[in-house]
């Protein structure tokens, strides 16, 4: 199960942000005026599990607004799962990734591991927090609060295979209507994270929305790194043994 966010119909109402905070009892972000357009939450974090970005795009094509409701991508190959030492992060029966706050020890390993910069720790308790895709609601047969609250169906929830088909049809419709810059992001199962559980239809390059153009699971090189580390340790041990052996002969 997952999200398909169609940014072409997002109106920036932030109903998803409010619904997320209300349902999950997520605290406020500090009410800091950032002076960045109409976006005062700034980005995803420990106290912002849904973030509606307001992007004022001034290009040769003319002035326009780009809006997008961002969220944890619930990666198929999730680096945060790989590095968590306590099992606080786990994959659910819906193939989503959830943090168990009562198990998290606040080590913070998951924060730099996330290729999207989604996970963060709260200053008051040090534990990591992020979108759970409303795991408690899913278990009761309900859709996530953000999708329920979205008035334009910009956020759609359901089985990923169905959402990908729906997204492909929507993309084709936009291309036929002359919106050549429309593209899908995170829908391919063969991308660097094995496909996202939350993917998007964008109206410009991913970088414009603050998304990495080619995300890669940050732990992909761990096996080879451990292999090299093991080989180095064996070599050092062999050198030490040789040194002590020569010393003993003298």
Same domain, 250 and 186: no
Same domain, 167 and 235: no
Cα Rg of the chain (Å, integer):
22
Same domain, 147 and 194: yes
For residue 234, being part of any structural domain is answered with: yes
Predicted TM-score (pTM) of the model is 0.80
Same domain, 27 and 131: yes
Same domain, 225 and 149: no
Same domain, 162 and 200: yes
Contact status, residue 128 vs residue 120, Cβ threshold 8 Å: yes
Token code pair at residue 147: 């999708």
For residue 215, being part of any structural domain is answered with: no
Contact status, residue 196 vs residue 2, Cβ threshold 8 Å: yes
Annotated binding site for [4Fe-4S] cluster: 10, 13, 16, 20, 72, 75, 80, 84, 104, 107, 110, 114, 131, 134, 146, 150
Annotated binding site: 10, 13, 16, 20, 72, 75, 80, 84, 104, 107, 110, 114, 131, 134, 146, 150
For residue 15, being part of any structural domain is answered with: yes
Same domain, 124 and 224: no
C-alpha closest to that of 196 among 95, 100, 108: 95
Strands 97-99 and 120-121: unpaired
Cβ neighbors of 96 (< 8 A, separation 6 or more) are 1, 2, 74, 132, 133, 135, 138, 197
Token code pair at residue 92: 């659910």
* Confidence (pLDDT) at 231: 44
Phi, psi torsion values for 217, nearest 5 degrees: -60, 125
| Domain limits for position 236 | 220-250
Share of the chain above pLDDT 70, in %: 85
pLDDT tens string 152-205 = 999 999 999 999 999 999 999 999 999 999 999 998 888 878 889 999 999 999
* Confidence (pLDDT) at 42: 78
Arithmetic mean of pLDDT, 135-162: 95
Same domain, 166 and 123: yes
For residue 114, being part of any structural domain is answered with: yes
Same domain, 57 and 159: yes
For residue 249, being part of any structural domain is answered with: yes
pLDDT tens string 123-133 = 888 999 999 99
Same domain, 110 and 155: yes
Query: What is the DSSP code string of the chain?
Result: -EEEEEGGG-----HHHHHHHHHHTPPP-------STT--S-S-BTTBSEEEEEEEEEETTEEEEEEEEEE----SS-HHHHH-SSS-EEE-TTS-EEE-TTT-----THHHH-TT---EE-TTT--EE----SHHHHHTT---HHHHH-TTS-EEEE-HHHHHHHHHHHHHHHHHTT-TT-EEES--TTSBTS--SEEEEESS-GGGGT--SS-B-TTTTHHHHHHHHHHHHHHHHHHHHHHHHHHHH-
For residue 139, being part of any structural domain is answered with: yes
pLDDT at residue 246 tops 80: no
For residue 25, being part of any structural domain is answered with: yes
For residue 214, being part of any structural domain is answered with: no
Share of the chain above pLDDT 90, in %: 61
Confidence of residue 217 (pLDDT cuts 50, 70, 90): confident
Same domain, 46 and 69: yes
Task: Return the CATH number at 48.
Answer: 3.30.70.20
* Confidence (pLDDT) at 234: 54
Overall domain count for the chain: 2
* Confidence (pLDDT) at 72: 94
Confidence of residue 214 (pLDDT cuts 50, 70, 90): confident
Same domain, 243 and 144: no
């Amino acid at each position: 199960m997952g999200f398909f966010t169609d940014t072409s119909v997002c109106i920036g109402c932030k109903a998803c942000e409010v619904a997320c905070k209300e349902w999950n009892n997520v605290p406020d972000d500090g009410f800091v005026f950032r002076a960045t357009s109409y976006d005062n939450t700034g980005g995803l974090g420990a106290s912002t599990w849904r973030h509606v970005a307001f992007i004022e795009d001034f290009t040769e094509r003319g002035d326009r607004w780009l809006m997008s409701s961002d969220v944890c991508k619930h990666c198929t190959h999730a680096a945060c799962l790989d590095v968590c030492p306590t099992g606080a992060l786990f994959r659910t029966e819906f193939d989503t990734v959830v943090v168990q706050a009562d198990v998290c020890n606040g080590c913070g390993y998951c924060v730099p591991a996330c290729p999207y910069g989604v996970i963060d720790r709260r200053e008051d308790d040090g534990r990591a927090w992020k979108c759970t895709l409303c795991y408690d609601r899913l278990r009761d047969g309900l859709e996530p609060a953000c999708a329920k609250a979205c008035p334009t169906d910009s956020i759609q929830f359901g089985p990923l295979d169905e959402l990908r088909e729906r997204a492909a049809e929507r993309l084709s419709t936009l291309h036929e209507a002359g919106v050549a810059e429309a593209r899908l992001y995170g829908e391919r199962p063969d991308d660097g994270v094995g496909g996202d559980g939350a993917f998007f239809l964008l109206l410009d390059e991913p970088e414009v929305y603050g998304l990495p153009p080619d995300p890669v699971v940050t732990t992909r090189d761990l096996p080879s790194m451990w292999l090299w580390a093991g080989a180095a340790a064996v070599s050092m041990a062999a050198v030490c043994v040789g040194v002590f052996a020569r010393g003993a002969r003298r």
